[in-house]
Amino acid sequence: MKFIVLPCDGIGPEIVEASVQVLKAADARYGLNIQLDYESVGFDSLRDHGITLRDEVLAKAKTYDGIILGTQSHADYPAPEKGGRNVSAGFRIGLDLYANVRPAKTRSFLESNMKAGKSMDLVIMREATEGFYPDRNMSRGWGEVMPSPDMALSTRKITRHCSERIARRAFELAMTRRKKVTAIHKANSFHMTDGLFLEAVRHVAKEFPQVQLDDLLVDASTAHLVRNPESFDVLVATNFYGDILSDLCSELSGSLGLAGSVMASDDLCCAQAQHGSAPTIAGKDIANPTSMILSVAMMVQWIGDKQGNKALRQAGDVMTSAVDLVLANPATRTPDIGGTMGCKAFAQAVADAVKSV
């Protein structure tokens, strides 16, 4: 079992190392025989190679069972022509990691202090390779132009192929949960693009008669997610909507720092925390590695399911349970959620819990 590890920017190296520590504890318990190989991306790669993401790293990543990708400081990168390549987008497009799976679940220790006031247990299935992101919808260059200094245009691409495959993943996931899918769109305004997406979702729904399908306008969905989060199971959305709604849901369920995330193709899975690189706290040992640890656990579970490997599936489950066990104790929480424990100590506590949970 080989994983490629890419620490990247900001707090990325710290939280990635924390997740690796927990992964090694799971490896020791279940005998997974995991091999970890490291590569540089982000500012380290820019310094050493003149570009934040090298093509050879993408090619190398294809040969691994899984990818552990740290946070990136994309907003601080130089222009693309000067080496500032979007690392996450590069992986999503280069490796066709089209399914960005983002759960939002109220952790039990936060139930008395939820920001939405109600319990949440849902998953956003976000299409990640097209849509309103200018670096993902053209075969060459960016999908944005400026005809004049006072006018900028952005091109959006929605295809039936990408819409149907993300919908299929959403329905497959719903079959393992509460059998409900909500399609998020704005087809009343984007008649062709969102109309095509909604048409594709409805077409795929015919393959899953056991699953209830409804749909919501993206603006209305924000209100419903705040008012009735418990009514949602799996939400399927295009890139831009899914990105925004997943941050909303994660924060409402407790904290963006507690939300795991993976990016997956049909054959490969990449663990990446939902949140950003937080450069202002980098190196201070106060970052919360929960999101990264849960993301790695999701990746291990994904691979276990894909390979029919019971030990891998159990390892991912135990990593998640260990996080919940440590978070349940106020004395073993990081500063962002009211505790005093540092990133390294938190990782050690979770790793210790993996051995016995």
Mean pLDDT of all residues belonging to the chain: 93
> Looking at residue 140, what is its pLDDT?
76
The pLDDT tens digits for 287-315 are 999 999 999 999 999 999 999 999 999 99
* Averaged pLDDT, 167-194: 97
Q: 252 near 114, Cβ under 8 Å?
A: yes
Residue 23 identity (one-letter amino acid): L
**From 44, 215, 247, 336, the catalytic residue:** 247
Task: Give the domains, in start order, of the chain with CATH numbers.
Answer: 1-113+260-357 (3.40.718.10), 115-253 (3.40.718.10)
**pLDDT band of 256, cuts 50, 70, 90:** confident
- Could you list the beta-strand ranges (E) of the chain: 2-6, 35-38, 66-69, 99-105, 121-127, 144-148, 151-154, 180-185, 212-217, 234-237, 262-264, 269-272
Active site residue 133: yes
Active site residue 243: yes
Active site residue 247: yes
**From 55, 76, 214, 219, the catalytic residue:** 219
Q: 135 exposed, middle or buried (CB, 10 Å; 0-12, 13-18, 19+)?
A: middle
Active site residue 76: no
The pLDDT tens digits for 94-110 are 999 999 999 999 876 66
* Averaged pLDDT, 22-41: 96
The pLDDT tens digits for 111-142 are 554 455 578 899 999 999 999 887 777 777 78
Active site residue 118: no
**From 30, 133, 233, 324, the catalytic residue:** 133
**From 186, 194, 233, 241, the catalytic residue:** 186
pTM recorded for the entire structure? 0.93
